[in-house]
Structures are given as structure tokens and as C-alpha cells.
Structure 1
Amino acid sequence: MKIERLKYWSLVALAFFPIVDFLLRKVPFLGSVWDDLILVGLAALALGRYLAGDRFEQLPYHRILTGFILLGIAYLAIGLSTFTIDLEGFRAIYTYSFYAFILPFLIDKDLAGKLIRYSLYAGLIIGLHGVYQYITKAPMPPGWVDATETVRTRAYSIFGSPNIMGSYMIMMFPMAAGMAWASRSTKERLFFGFVAFITLAALLFTFTRGAWLALFVALTVTAALFNRRLLILILIGAVAALLIPQIQDRIFNLFDPLYWQKAARDGRIARWLTAYDAMRYNPFFGAGMGHFGGAVAARHFDIRYVDNYYMKTLAEMGLLGLSVMLALFGTVIRNLYTRIFKPLQARQEWPLLLGMFTSVLAVLVQNAVENVFEVPAMNFLFWFIVSLTVILTGSSEKEASQK
């Protein structure tokens, strides 16, 4: 019983990952290992379940993820001369993906629903903090906005970066909206509707164009797959947002030739081209994990972030690594689509599932303009939400297959 209670509270801590990580980072030693300790403990429990005969339904993305992990191990063997750095790079890329194999052994549908709620509670707390920062005009570095813009501040909360704050909110907002829609009681609909409102407001106050556009793309794709009439609502919402002067300035600034000149000289485009050049020295295998464009490379080689997780992967793991990664993410989306959309009408929680699908897709889109998965909380939450979505759809899938 004590082990079950410890498992439960460990999962709760993971649902509040950004907040727990922020607080524990202030504690010497514990802050850098707390998530590793939970991972090892939960992995041991999952292994015990496996040895006892338990199994879970493996989807195609599980098999591709296994291959991707084995590929990472092979890269470690290739880079023995810089093994320590490569191992750091391996951990940054792969650590949280192991939860895709661990969580199905430990979480049932009821617990999955609770953990989603806890994640949204964390989103509400962080979202409120972001709104508070905007209202109180929290100080920010001048480089976060161009001199010609009228943005007075950008919300960043505990992440210290408005771009990652935006990434977090594009995960929380669709789930909160879906939970509000799926809730049966008026009280819950009002509460989660409030969570959706706060997370959307916090997203807007980050003034992160990449997150805005990623959410727009994800909502558009989800609407097109589910009910194309919803595209009208999305378009109306986008137009309404453009009526806000600060948002209008941020979006229309993308069409300014000066913006692209700066991007090509010392901005994202320059960094992407640098990543491409780094790959050309070893097109198949890349420069090695942890050697370019991420946190590990910044620590060891003083190399700037690439601001594109896929270009960073191309530079570090070459065409082979990027191809397998893209195949993995594409299969994740296809598997979730199959489990959510085909039996959609029979699910009470279908609005929540649509929200979770949108969250996963939005973060994958934003990775094209930001190193989202370099942040432990975001990397973990991606695999957490993917796994919870699969768990929530598991019973219905089995029932459908038995008919």
C-alpha cells in the first residue's frame, strides 16, 4: 500500500512538473535529480508489473520509438571519444520518452483523468502568474521586442522565457477548453472554462508569434479533421486577435523586410543555415548528440541555440537521426488520430481528446521555430500527454475491436 501511495504522489508531482521543478531547483542536489529518481522508481514498478505478466497494447509509435532509442545508443558507441558530452546529449533527447513505456503499466483510465486535471491546475497557477506579470509590467530584457514595437512586457512566469511559456500554454489551453466542453456539471464547465480563458490570456501576453501560429495551425488541422464548420470560428478568433494593436504589431512585423534582414544576419534564419552547414560535414550521422544548437552544446562549446529543434537534430544526428525522429512524431500523430477520430462519436470525453490531440500537434509545430524539447518540462509533458491520450482511448479501442 505504501508503494502505491508513493507511486500516486510521484505521478502527481509529474503532473505539476513545471512548478515542482522550479521549486526543487532551488534545493542543492535534489533539484537536478528529483525527476531522475521518480523515473527510476516508476520504471522499477513497471518492470515488476511486466515480470508479473502484465502487458500493454503497443502501438506503431512504440516500435519506432524503440528504434529511435537504439539509434541513440548506436550514436553513443560511435562517439566514444566524446562520450561524456554525447551522453548528456542522449539524456536531453531521450530521458522523458521512456515514460511512453512506463506509464501504461502504472496508470488506468480513472487515474489518467485525474492526472490531466492536476496538469490543468498547474496550468492555471502558471497562467495566473503570467497574467499578473503582464498587468504589473514585469521587467524584461530589451532584446525580447523590437524597438519599433509597442509591447510593454511579455509574460514568462517560472520558465524565464516567453517562448517556452507560450509553448506551455498551447498545451494547456486546448486541454482546458476540451475539459470544459466535456464536463458534465455546470460547476466544472465554469471552472475549466476559466482555466481555458486564463491560459489563452497568458498565451497572448507572452507575445510569442511561434506559439500563436503553432496553435492556429493545430486548431485548423483538428477542425478540418473533425468538423470543418469549426474553421469559421477559428478564423473569427484569429481576426479578433488581430484587432488588438500589440498582437497586430507582432504579426505584421513578420512582413517587414527589415525583420527578415535581421533574421538572416543574426537571427533564426542565420542559425538554421549554420545548423545546415554543420550537418554537411557529416550528413549521415551529424556532429554528435549534444554538440550543436542546444543546452548541452551551449555549456560545452558556447554554441547558440538553433531555435528549431528539427534543425538542431539535423546538425547533431544527421539525416538519419532526423528522418527517424520525423517518422516517430508522424506516427504518434497518426496513431492518436486513429484512436481519437474514428470512434469519436461514441466517446463521452471526445472534446478533451480533441484538445489533447491539438496540444500534441501544436508543440510539434512550434518545435520548427523553437527548441521546445530542450526544456525538461516540455519534453516530459509531450510524452505524458501522448501516453495519457493512449490510455484514455484504450478501453474504447478494445471494445471496438471485439465487435
Structure 2
Amino acid sequence: MAQESRWRERIVTWGWMLLACYPLVDFVLRNTPIIRSTHVGSVWDKLILLIFGFFFIKESIEGRQVKLPPFYKAVLAFMLLGVGYMMMDLSEPSLTFEGWRAVFLYMFVVFLAPFFIDAQFAKRLLQASLWTGVLIALIAVYQWIVKAPIPAGWVDAGEHVRTRAYSIFGSPNVLGSYLVLMFPIAAGLALTKGYTGKQRLIYGGMALLFAAALFMTYTRGAWMALFIALLVIGALVDKRLFIGIVLAAIAVSFVPQIHARVSELFTPLYWKKAALNGRIARSLLTYDVMRKNPLFGAGLGHYGGAVAARHFGTMYSDNYYAKTLAEMGLLGLFSFVALLFKVARDIYRHIWKRMIWKHGKFIEAGLYTGILAVMIHNAVENIFEVPAMNFLFWFMVSLIFIISREVTGQTSITEEADANHAA
């Protein structure tokens, strides 16, 4: 029994560590020639979640109970709605299931993470994620220094940039979204009390590296998403912080490359291109698809994302909410937006009402900022179409509640599990 318990703990520990380093692990498994031929790269994350799911069911039957985040019922309801959409179209079950998996699979993390992770382990997982981010950001900096070649479509007509960093993601927009998630977490750790001066200096250095790499992506959507998220956090914490963020943004806007890139948004040429074959045109196309079935849409996996691109050759919508509208109609879009709103509201209530700010716990502030930034960035990119970003979003949403238990004095999950096994 003791040996079985040790094996379980090893599997759980290493499984979550691999998932915490998701972008790097996935890249290595998919691009190492020997491993690539085994197709492990396409199933490794599902296998880990499946094993966790087995442990979850087995131990739940045995009577173990764990406190879940307050929004777990909303997540469960949305996932069941997705099952309903899948049942509505059984003409191509494999396609529909693939479409369901792309949207809903990583939401299981909301149920699994609190079952296996306590506050201290959550911090170790955050550190693993951040060190993975350091390697990814260093690759981006290297690409920018050596002027890595990029497709012409990544630069607006008449605009001149030395390059756009994309690191292991193959897209500067996805890298930008990844960095707006990682940057505030590192900054939050650097400001959190309880760490040594050396540790806070390291986290501050990480934050600066992430900010530099974010600049090198030249991704306006990520810049704006981070700015808006920081404004929200500034307004929640202290009006002086809010004013400081505004002043910092004004100062940064004088950087020639940033000024040129952002000012391009206000030119007639940009809006003309956007209306002809850019984001405006693609959003209007998703609306046209939705009009054929306004309530339920075209069906999961049928338009605007990776699954539809593979099966039907349709273009990406460049707006995850528009993609949801096309595939799931008005019911699906409103349900999804309501879910994200509840997640954001519950995190706000959990942090603000319990006065975590007074404890100097800016880890939560950093996590919240990154979560909001990814939500906002999805309005101009299909960020949740990228498995690494989809997983990391729900992973960080879970960790913020797990870590906050340390402040409120709740029993850690590991201690609870050990007590149950001992009994």
C-alpha cells in the first residue's frame, strides 16, 4: 500500500511538472525526429490528464472530498452544453468530438488541479512555468538579435521592422499572448513579501526579460491586452497604481518602434486592409456563418479554428469569440462569455473580499492580470486554439485559488490526502 502511494505521488508530481512546462515539452515531443514518429507529441497531455482522471474517480469513490473553485459549476454546465452540441451532430462523430476536445478538454483542469495540488506545490509549478518561459523568451531575444526571417504578411505595408520574435510557437501573436500571461506572474512574485531579496531580484529579472521579448513580438493585440488588464488591476488595488500605469504607458508610447506600430492602427490603409481581408472581414464572415443557424451555429469544429482549417480549409477567424459565435451560435457565445465573466468575478471576489492585498500576496495579482490579459487578447486572436495557451489559462485560473488558501488558513490538499490515507 505504501509503495502504491509512493508511485502515485511520483506520477502526480512529474505529471503536473510536465504540464506546467507545457509549451516546451510539447515542442520537444513534436519536433524530435525519433519521438515524432511515435505520435507521442499529440497524445502526451491527454494521457496525463487521463491518468489524473482515473485517480480522481477512484479516490472520489473512496470518499475523498476537495474544495473546488467557486465557479466549477459554471465550468461543468458549459462542458455539458458542449456535449449537447456534440450530440446534435452525429453525422461526423470524429469531427464533432475533435471540435469538442479543442474547446473543452483543458477545462477538466479546474476539477483535477485542486484534487492533487496544494499551495506549496502550486508555487513550485509556477516556478517551473516561469523558468520554461525564460528559455522561450531567450529564444525570442536571440531571434530578434539575429534578425530571424519572417513572412511578409507579418508586417503591414509600408512598415519596417527588423523582425518579429516568435520563439518556439511559430507565431509572434501566440508568443505575445504567452508573455502577457507570464510577465505579470513574474512581476507579482517579485513584489510578494516572504521571498528573499535574491529571489525577488531573480523574479524581477524574469519580468524584464518577458517584457523585452513581448516588445520584440511587435504584437499590438498583446500589448493592448496587457495594458487594459494592468489598468483593471490598478483600479482595483490603488488609484496611484492606476495613474502610474497610465504614465508608464504614455512614456513607453514614445519608443519609436512602439509608436510606429500602434499609430499604424489609426491609418486609413490599415482599416481598408482589415475590411478587405483582415480581422474585420473575418469577423463579418463568422457572422454570416452564424446567421444560417443563429441559436446553435454551424457546429463544433466547423468554422474559424484549427479543426475546421484541417477538415474544410476554412480560414481562422482571428477572434476566438467570433469563432465561438460561428460554431456555437448565440447560445454558445453568450454561455462562454458568461463563464469567463464568472471566472473573472469570482477571482475578484476571492481576492478582494478576503483582503489578500494587505498580506502582500501579489502572486494572485500577477495571476489575475495574466488571466484577464489572455481573455482580452482572444478578442483579436484565436489564442484558445493553441493547446498550450488553452491549458495554461485554465491551469493558472486553478492555481490562483489554490495558492490563496495559504492566506486564508485552509488545510492544504496534500495534508488532507495524507490524513485520509493514514486513516
TM-score in same-fold range (> 0.5): yes
CA–CA distance in 2 between the matches of 1:136 and 1:344?
47
Query: What's the offset of the Cα at 1:345?
Result: 4.4
Aligned twin of 1:240: 251
Change (3 A) 1:346 1:378: closer
CA–CA distance in 2 between the matches of 1:147 and 1:267?
13
Matching of residues 4-403 of structure 1 within 5 Å: 4-26=9-31, 27-28=36-37, 29-182=39-192, 184-345=195-356, 348=359, 350-397=361-408
In structure 2, stretches of 5+ residues that fail to align are: 1-5, 411-423
CA–CA distance in 1 between the matches of 2:26 and 2:383?
16
Change (3 A) 1:352 1:81: same
CA–CA distance in 2 between the matches of 1:55 and 1:280?
45
Query: What's the offset of the Cα at 1:59?
Result: 4.0
CA contact (8 A) 2:69 2:401 kept: no
CA–CA distance in 1 between the matches of 2:68 and 2:7?
29
CA–CA distance in 1 between the matches of 2:118 and 2:56?
13
CA contact (8 A) 2:72 2:110 kept: yes
Q: Please give the secondary structure, in 1, of the residue aligned with 2:43.
A: helix
Query: What's the offset of the Cα at 1:347?
Result: 6.0
CA contact (8 A) 2:264 2:270 kept: yes
93-102 vs 183-192, greater mean Cα deviation: 183-192
CA–CA distance in 2 between the matches of 1:6 and 1:197?
34
207-216 vs 42-51, greater mean Cα deviation: 42-51
The letter for the 2-side match of 1:202 is A
CA contact (8 A) 2:29 2:40 kept: yes
Q: Deviations over 1:63-107 (max 9, x none)?
A: 111111111111111101122211110010011111111111100
CA contact (8 A) 2:299 2:328 kept: yes
The letter for the 2-side match of 1:392 is I
CA–CA distance in 1 between the matches of 2:407 and 2:363?
15
CA–CA distance in 2 between the matches of 1:297 and 1:3?
38
Change (3 A) 1:9 1:345: closer
Query: What's the offset of the Cα at 1:368?
Result: 0.3
Query: What's the offset of the Cα at 1:344?
Result: 2.7
Query: What's the offset of the Cα at 1:56?
Result: 2.2
CA contact (8 A) 1:54 1:105 kept: no
Query: What's the offset of the Cα at 1:227?
Result: 0.8
Aligned twin of 2:413: none
Q: Deviations over 1:118-145 (max 9, x none)?
A: 1111111111111111111111111100
CA–CA distance in 2 between the matches of 1:356 and 1:97?
17
The letter for the 2-side match of 1:214 is A
Q: Please give the secondary structure, in 2, of the residue aligned with 1:357.
A: helix
Q: Please give the secondary structure, in 1, of the residue aligned with 2:327.
A: helix
Change (3 A) 1:223 1:70: same
In structure 1, stretches of 5+ residues that fail to align are: none
CA contact (8 A) 1:344 1:350 kept: no
CA–CA distance in 2 between the matches of 1:387 and 1:58?
9
Query: What's the offset of the Cα at 1:346?
Result: 6.6
CA–CA distance in 2 between the matches of 1:46 and 1:110?
20
The letter for the 2-side match of 1:41 is I
The letter for the 2-side match of 1:283 is P
Q: Deviations over 1:320-349 (max 9, x none)?
A: 111111111000001111111222347645
CA contact (8 A) 2:279 2:318 kept: yes
26-35 vs 192-201, greater mean Cα deviation: 26-35
Q: Please give the secondary structure, in 2, of the residue aligned with 1:81.
A: coil
Q: Deviations over 1:31-65 (max 9, x none)?
A: 11100111101111222231222222234421111
CA–CA distance in 2 between the matches of 1:87 and 1:37?
17
CA–CA distance in 2 between the matches of 1:153 and 1:344?
44
Q: How many corresponding residue pairs?
A: 400
TM-score normalized with structure 1 length: 0.97
The letter for the 2-side match of 1:265 is L
CA–CA distance in 2 between the matches of 1:298 and 1:153?
27
Q: Deviations over 1:200-247 (max 9, x none)?
A: 110111000000000000000011011111122212221222111111
Q: Please give the secondary structure, in 2, of the residue aligned with 1:343.
A: coil
The letter for the 2-side match of 1:253 is E
CA contact (8 A) 2:150 2:164 kept: yes
CA contact (8 A) 2:68 2:114 kept: no
CA contact (8 A) 1:60 1:331 kept: no
The letter for the 2-side match of 1:4 is E
Stretches of 4+ moved more than 6 A in 1?
none
Q: Deviations over 1:14-36 (max 9, x none)?
A: 11000000000122210111001
